[in-house]
Structure 1
Amino acid sequence: MAVYYYLGKNFKGEILRGIYESQEETEIVELLKKKGFYPIAVRKHPFYSFLYILGDIPFDKKYEELAFFCRQMAGMLQVGMPVVDCLSLLCNQFSRASLVKTLKKVIKDLNRGFTLSEAFKNQPAIFPDILVYAVETGEISGRLEEILKKLAVYFETIAKYRQRYKSSLVYPAFLGLVSLAVYYFLSNTLMPLYTDMFEQAGIHLPLPTRIFIAVAANFNKLALLMIFVFISILGLRHWLMQDPKIAYKVDKFILNLPILGLLIKHNNTANFCKILAILLSSGIPLIKAIELAQKNMSNAVFKRDLQLAKENMEKGEALVNSLRSSAFPTFMLRMLQLGIESGKLEEMLFKIADFYDEEISTLQQRILALIEPLAILFMSIVIGFAVISAVLPMFRLYTVF
């Protein structure tokens, strides 16, 4: 996926501009034509592409804000407030300037005659496809408030998982900072004294101490190098994952990893069930719901499986049969079959999602239990090496004198 900047104009002279994430430029051109605009410019936007690379790091508040937005919007619509007034009030509820600016663009589009879903579709950097199509269906069916509440629950769940990931990194990050503080203190106080003393005595410093001093002397350069390597890895990953074949192989390998693979499998399964349940309960046809769910999968294996399932369903195959050769767990497929047979597919999908949410929580606790001792071990090695580097010269001086 690449991020494109587009600029279009209609016969009234109105201008439509924005950014859109797409695989091909032609998709954006078609989108503009459907809206009655002819394209003036469509080009890749490198700045937003870079932000999308950094967006792989799950430390943003996008889903928390979307959950809050949907819940507040549903509440205000329920009491009969006009959509434009709802959005105007919500502009004052957010501190992020880019989000406020986006909401103002949505209000502007509504005043120009766009529907709410069309206005959301013009801002793909903020509003995902699931929200756009669910809102579109809600506008047609008159169940917009109900759909927004379900979307709020969905985004809250995603935000909750991301918060857990962040929380699991707090303790290791704290230990890392303590290790760096100890390292910095020793390298700037004790080690310079040792260097002077040993030079005056004509004695060589022990090897661990020399290594410690060399690292300390080049600490700033090493830190910059690590940051550069980290950003380069993110950029390389983003570039490689543009190729569907490479993305599929990488994601398939990750799915086969012991704990992480199971976590990703459960996460995609729960996400699929939630999205499908929300879209089906909103009145979106099954095949279209599968297509939208496929776009929201984070793993290329699940994306391909759902694409194949959609193609098979278009040929007349049943939902469960089209998913049998997929990466989805057998338990989920059996429960889906029961839901179809009982005529309560949406309800069953929500139950399956709840089950896998519990499984994800258990796996996250196991990962956290594994991270903590590893972080302690890392800190022990770093501080232990620093202490040895500081103590060894004292013993050498003692043996010499």
Structure 2
Amino acid sequence: MPVYEYRVRDRSGKILKSQMEAETASQVRDALRAKSLFIVEIKPPKTGLNAEVKIPGLSDRPPNLKQVAVFSKQLATLINAGVPLVQSLAILQRQIENKAFQTIIRSIRADVEGGLPLSEALVKHPRVFNRLYINLVRAGETSGTLDSILERIAAFQEKELGLRGKIKSALTYPVVVLVFAIGITYFLLTTIVPQFAGILAQLNAPLPLITRLLMAVSDFLKNSGLFILAGIAALVFAYRWYYRTPQGRHVIDDIKLRLPVFGPLLKKSAVSSFARTFGLLISSGVNIIESLEITKGTANNAIVEDTIENAKNVVMVGEPMSASLATSRVFPPMVVSMVAIGEETGALDSMLYKIGDFYDREVDEAVASLTAAIEPLMIVFLGAIVGTIVAGMFLPMFSIIGQLSK
């Protein structure tokens, strides 16, 4: 639908600039007059060479969590400063550089102008605003504290970004080194080893076991490259298909939590995310059953989701949630004890915040120690691969030189 830019003057004489989607300019004019606005100018939509260029996959890319966090913080600041909601959305719409996000904010603003609450307007964009976001905004509208709720959401999203960044930093180094090791190994086996093999074949030298194995692997890689790629693609497809099934998701997520090195880190991040999300919902006025249901939807792990679901069922029959968490291997005894104290004292939200802060620090320490431990291990691993290939190629040469020197 075409987008018309316009300038109008309100009843106080202030000039306002904005945009509107409409089929014709007359529809824009009628809509503005219905709001008792004096029209100064309506610009026709841009066409031809003046039209905005949209690159598929780039211009229409949905906003990421950081962009949504910035939007939440700016909207909270504008509302807290006394700017009306519709005008705040119009200001942010002009400032946002992501065109897809700009279109979403334009749609939200139009819905709010039409009389919808902000939370109901956000429901139409589930890819950007999840159930957690929408329910918190709804709670803020009900209690009249939308600005403070939006500030809490922004702070929560910033912590979520920080947690994700820590996990990525812990995983990036070993993945990069592993890819580098595979690349070097493939190059040596398909380029250098065949040249040595040709020389050794001409010399009719006796070959040790390690050399014969390397030559066999080299021949396989050179002659079966397409089969290897097809096998990798099939494994990736099978993994994704299996993970989409309920049983496969439970099995794979359980394995992730049981991994010897990364499992404890994933558990700590899961506890931190649970505590911060659940605490934010309760402190914002969302009832405990709905809070647990929303928190379960943000867990991203089937085992953690089952644990939260069990806790919700226990609360629904009037039992304390801590009793259910105690039966799970995800939540440590310390967390269970702190939740129990929060339930008894009526300060569950503040206790959850303390748990979240504690496990944020635990994740920091786990990432630092993991990075420090993995770095020398990866160097040794890479050196062992290269050393094995070099030894396998030069051992026969040493044998030949020894025979010639006799």
Q: Structure 2 length as normaliser, TM-score?
A: 0.70
Question: CA RMSD, aligned part only?
Answer: 3.4
Evaluate the alpha carbon distance shift between residue 385 and residue 83 of structure 1 in structure 2; reply closer, same or farther with a 3 A threshold. farther
The whole-number CA distance in structure 2 between the counterparts of 1:366 and 1:237 is 33
User: Deviation of residue 375 (structure 1)?
Assistant: 1.8
Query: Secondary structure of 2:319's partner?
Result: coil
Alignment of 1:305 onto 2:307: yes
Evaluate the alpha carbon distance shift between residue 266 and residue 165 of structure 1 in structure 2; reply closer, same or farther with a 3 A threshold. closer
User: Deviation of residue 255 (structure 1)?
Assistant: 4.0
User: Deviation of residue 91 (structure 1)?
Assistant: 4.7
Moved more, 369-378 or 214-223: 214-223
Alignment of 1:140 onto 2:145: no
For residue 236 of structure 2, what is the aligned residue in structure 1? 231
Evaluate the alpha carbon distance shift between residue 157 and residue 61 of structure 1 in structure 2; reply closer, same or farther with a 3 A threshold. farther
The whole-number CA distance in structure 2 between the counterparts of 1:321 and 1:186 is 57
Alignment of 1:386 onto 2:389: yes
Q: Check whether the contact 1:121–1:127 (CA below 8 A) recurs between aligned residues.
A: yes
CA offsets 1:291-336 (integer angstroms, 9 cap, x no match): 2112222332332232233233222333434544344333223222
CA offsets 1:203-245 (integer angstroms, 9 cap, x no match): 68742552364255258537634651452254134223x34xx
For residue 358 of structure 1, what is the aligned residue in structure 2? 361
CA offsets 1:4-39 (integer angstroms, 9 cap, x no match): xxxxxxxxxxxxxxxxxxxxxxxxxxxxxxxxxxxx
CA offsets 1:104-143 (integer angstroms, 9 cap, x no match): 4434443444322122222222222111100111122121
Amino acid aligned to 2:342: G
Alignment of 1:162 onto 2:164: yes
Evaluate the alpha carbon distance shift between residue 100 and residue 382 of structure 1 in structure 2; reply closer, same or farther with a 3 A threshold. farther
The whole-number CA distance in structure 2 between the counterparts of 1:201 and 1:392 is 14
Alignment of 1:293 onto 2:298: no
The whole-number CA distance in structure 2 between the counterparts of 1:108 and 1:315 is 43
Q: Check whether the contact 2:190–2:218 (CA below 8 A) recurs between aligned residues.
A: no
For residue 367 of structure 1, what is the aligned residue in structure 2? 370
The whole-number CA distance in structure 1 between the counterparts of 2:98 and 2:239 is 25
Unmatched tracts of structure 1, length 5 or more: 1-59
The whole-number CA distance in structure 1 between the counterparts of 2:126 and 2:239 is 22
Q: Check whether the contact 2:243–2:249 (CA below 8 A) recurs between aligned residues.
A: no
Moved more, 319-328 or 282-291: 319-328
User: Deviation of residue 390 (structure 1)?
Assistant: 4.2
The whole-number CA distance in structure 2 between the counterparts of 1:76 and 1:127 is 19
Evaluate the alpha carbon distance shift between residue 128 and residue 152 of structure 1 in structure 2; reply closer, same or farther with a 3 A threshold. same
Evaluate the alpha carbon distance shift between residue 212 and residue 320 of structure 1 in structure 2; reply closer, same or farther with a 3 A threshold. closer
Query: Secondary structure of 1:297's partner?
Result: coil
Alignment of 1:214 onto 2:214: no
Evaluate the alpha carbon distance shift between residue 62 and residue 167 of structure 1 in structure 2; reply closer, same or farther with a 3 A threshold. same
Query: Secondary structure of 2:285's partner?
Result: coil
The whole-number CA distance in structure 2 between the counterparts of 1:204 and 1:71 is 72
Query: Secondary structure of 1:124's partner?
Result: coil
User: Deviation of residue 98 (structure 1)?
Assistant: 4.5
Evaluate the alpha carbon distance shift between residue 105 and residue 215 of structure 1 in structure 2; reply closer, same or farther with a 3 A threshold. farther
Q: Check whether the contact 2:63–2:98 (CA below 8 A) recurs between aligned residues.
A: no
For residue 55 of structure 2, what is the aligned residue in structure 1? none
Q: Structure 1 length as normaliser, TM-score?
A: 0.71
The whole-number CA distance in structure 2 between the counterparts of 1:180 and 1:265 is 30
The whole-number CA distance in structure 1 between the counterparts of 2:63 and 2:386 is 35
Amino acid aligned to 2:67: E
Q: Check whether the contact 1:190–1:390 (CA below 8 A) recurs between aligned residues.
A: no
For residue 29 of structure 1, what is the aligned residue in structure 2? none
